[in-house]
Chain A
């Protein structure tokens, strides 16, 4: 009995300690951002930081939620849950409209304002009744990158897809292929999320296909191990290398000439602007009349100073 009571006491104390970590509830508006990213995706850290900054500056309460494994069905539950907790607004991605549009529409119908960020398209955002879409159209960004690479003389490529279950990842590769004017075919590999696996798969592919002109990675998760793979194979700086998104290692690699360009979709704006827009909408009733494209911007070795200073934090 004794030990049992002790167990319960310790549990409650531990729980109370965890509650202490909670952000203080401000009196102002409350906004919840629901992402589709698994815990392991470091890129979303920028989103979290920008969200916290916007919350501070606008003096509103902000919360960040995500499905721990990246399971989109779990994400649908989180959106339902966010709606049930009665926030002033929800900011969410539309990674799979089939799964997410139901819960999002229910939230809108229950009187909660929604802004779609990051994944999805302006048309889909309008369809689910969201106020606006803030993000980078994925296919268009891939297409623009493909045109740029074609101009630089690229004819074949390897797309390292570390998040193959997300349609938008595949769209980036598809857009790039269409921009180049080649078939995607087997040039996209499912790399998984583990760094050493990614590194080995990239090396295996490039060994098997030595005439590959270019490598395209979809974010730090796949770019960082790919940099290592190229260094090990002696191809760093030799093979044409472009990537989506930025991070510490990517910035260094751009500086070193390993990576030609990084496509910056400026995630900072995707978390920051919806909070600012919604807060002003709720306080003063003002709303921009259009969707906001946060990207694509190409970051090359020429304009790195600011990016370098804030890489991984706000950039």
Chain B
């Protein structure tokens, strides 16, 4: 019905077989649009309210960039999986589990750190595959299957270190990682000389005392941020430029229809579960290498943070629609808001209120967009 109304409002078209769509509507049905506007709004907001609070000096920028990059890494995986029509609630537990696995392998059992990392990745991706296999085999909602793994993995994360070491935090990984070739890929920093140069120019501050006097307060970009950007780039390329990307959209949009046209839906979904597990493992490895310890409480509630970032980024919970760039921007909004509220001096317990408000508006906006899409088809 709305189609007739819209057709009447528009000028006569050059080709009457193609339905008229206004430029605004075209822009509105791009999944990233909400996130782009949101990002601009959030930055404008904090520039006004927290512009002089240290949020936009070198340390401040590094701080919210790192937090955003953390969200980004898990949001990329969650986004691809959500577009393929499934959820993974075990992401947070997987982070704790992977970190603990690396700690036990490298510190308790004394394996070289690179072997510990490689084996942990293999285990995590295998668990992701099991998740996916159970989902496609049983036809159960992924919500339930991965909820089970949320508890299973968290339980093991507390049980193993307690049985083996009688502790729930295992440290000393940084000592074990000295001289390792793979550890800096996750825990290192790049661009050190650039920051020294910037400090010499007086663009960024230097430490005023202690044993690092004269060194710049920011001495490099953490590999965490590099990983986030690389993952976003690769995932965006696969999703928008390859046949496999189309399969992902098809599997999430209408799995049965996709099967009819020959898309290997089960394989796509299992691969996406494995990719999500991979992302969680990247997150865990970066964290463990940076802090040098693994704790049983790491990654708590991170699965919801990933899903929130993806939803703010414009993906539909029902699958088949979304964008990695949108999810990355959603993660950026999330990170900037979380850290920025502090710089703006807002009581920290209100952060959840703010988060809920943003989430609600993002979902309302998405529903509106979905109505446009389905209405026009």
Are A and B part of the same complex? yes
Residues on A lying within 8 angstroms of B by beta carbon are 1, 3-4, 7-8, 10-12, 14-15, 18-19, 21-23, 25, 39, 63-66, 68-73, 76-78, 80-86, 96-99, 102, 105-106, 108-111, 129, 164-165, 167, 170, 190
Q: List 15 A-B contacts (CB under 8 A).
A: A11-B357, A15-B45, A19-B346, A21-B346, A23-B345, A25-B345, A71-B298, A73-B295, A83-B59, A99-B292, A109-B212, A110-B205, A111-B208, A165-B296, A190-B158
How many Cβ-Cβ contacts under 8 Å join chain A to chain B?
Answer: 152
> Quick one: CB contact mask for B71-94 with A, threshold 8 Å, 1 for yes?
000000000000000000000000
When the two chains form their complex, are residues A18 and B353 in contact, meaning their CB atoms are under 8 A apart? yes
Measured between beta carbons, the chain A residues less than 8 angstroms from B298 are: 71-73
The segment from B13-21, B50-58, B116-124 that touches chain A is B50-58
**Among A4, A63, A64, A82: residue with most chain B CB under 10 A:** A4
Q: Which of B57, B213, B295 contacts A165 (CB 8 A)?
A: B295
Measured between beta carbons, the chain A residues less than 8 angstroms from B299 are: 71
When the two chains form their complex, are residues A167 and B59 in contact, meaning their CB atoms are under 8 A apart? no
B166: min CB distance to chain A, Å: 8
User: For residue B291, which residue of chain A has the nearest CB?
Assistant: A99
A54: min CB distance to chain B, Å: 17
The yes or no answer to B301 lying at the interface (CB within 8 A) is yes
When the two chains form their complex, are residues B350 and A81 in contact, meaning their CB atoms are under 8 A apart? no
A15-B45, A165-B296 in contact; A84/B59 too (CB < 8 A)?
yes
Interface of B is mostly: helix
> Quick one: CB contact mask for B40-75 with A, threshold 8 Å, 1 for yes?
010001000100011101011011101100000000
When the two chains form their complex, are residues A12 and B45 in contact, meaning their CB atoms are under 8 A apart? yes
The segment from B139-147, B319-327, B358-366 that touches chain A is B358-366
Measured between beta carbons, the chain B residues less than 8 angstroms from A96 are: 169, 171, 293, 295
When the two chains form their complex, are residues B41 and A170 in contact, meaning their CB atoms are under 8 A apart? no
Measured between beta carbons, the chain B residues less than 8 angstroms from A81 are: 60, 63-64, 339, 342-343
A85-B55, A85-B60 in contact; A70/B300 too (CB < 8 A)?
yes
The yes or no answer to B377 lying at the interface (CB within 8 A) is no
When the two chains form their complex, are residues B63 and A84 in contact, meaning their CB atoms are under 8 A apart? yes
Measured between beta carbons, the chain A residues less than 8 angstroms from B210 are: 105, 108-109, 129
Chain B count of residues within 8 A CB distance of the other chain: 65
Besides A82-B342, A96-B171, 12 new A-B residue pairs in contact (Cβ under 8 A), listed by A number = A18-B346, A18-B354, A19-B49, A21-B350, A71-B300, A83-B59, A84-B60, A98-B169, A165-B296, A167-B167, A170-B167, A170-B168
Measured between beta carbons, the chain A residues less than 8 angstroms from B169 are: 96, 98, 165, 167
Q: Give the contacts of B165-179 with A (CB-CB under 8 A).
A: 167-169, 171-172, 174
Q: Give the contacts of B210-245 with A (CB-CB under 8 A).
A: 210-213, 217
When the two chains form their complex, are residues A77 and B66 in contact, meaning their CB atoms are under 8 A apart? yes
Measured between beta carbons, the chain B residues less than 8 angstroms from A108 are: 209-210
Measured between beta carbons, the chain A residues less than 8 angstroms from B60 are: 81, 84-85
When the two chains form their complex, are residues A85 and B54 in contact, meaning their CB atoms are under 8 A apart? yes
B325: min CB distance to chain A, Å: 19
Measured between beta carbons, the chain A residues less than 8 angstroms from B62 are: 80, 84
A194: min CB distance to chain B, Å: 14
**Among A110, A111, A190: residue with most chain B CB under 10 A:** A110
Leading 6 A-B pairs by shortest Cβ distance: A109-B210, A98-B293, A84-B59, A165-B297, A98-B171, A84-B60
Measured between beta carbons, the chain B residues less than 8 angstroms from A18 are: 346, 350, 353-354
When the two chains form their complex, are residues A110 and B49 in contact, meaning their CB atoms are under 8 A apart? no
When the two chains form their complex, are residues B342 and A65 in contact, meaning their CB atoms are under 8 A apart? yes
When the two chains form their complex, are residues A71 and B297 in contact, meaning their CB atoms are under 8 A apart? yes
When the two chains form their complex, are residues B365 and A164 in contact, meaning their CB atoms are under 8 A apart? no
The yes or no answer to B11 lying at the interface (CB within 8 A) is no
Kindly state the separation between the CA atoms of A106 and B215 in the bound complex, as whole angstroms. Answer: 11
B238: min CB distance to chain A, Å: 29
When the two chains form their complex, are residues A110 and B168 in contact, meaning their CB atoms are under 8 A apart? no
The yes or no answer to B24 lying at the interface (CB within 8 A) is yes
> Quick one: CB contact mask for B256-291 with A, threshold 8 Å, 1 for yes?
000000000000000000000000000000010001
Measured between beta carbons, the chain A residues less than 8 angstroms from B172 are: 98
B105: min CB distance to chain A, Å: 17
A18: min CB distance to chain B, Å: 6
Measured between beta carbons, the chain B residues less than 8 angstroms from A4 are: 28, 37, 365
Measured between beta carbons, the chain A residues less than 8 angstroms from B49 are: 19
The yes or no answer to B250 lying at the interface (CB within 8 A) is no
Kindly state the separation between the CA atoms of A3 and B372 in the bound complex, as whole angstroms. Answer: 13
Q: Which of B41, B207, B347 contacts A21 (CB 8 A)?
A: B347
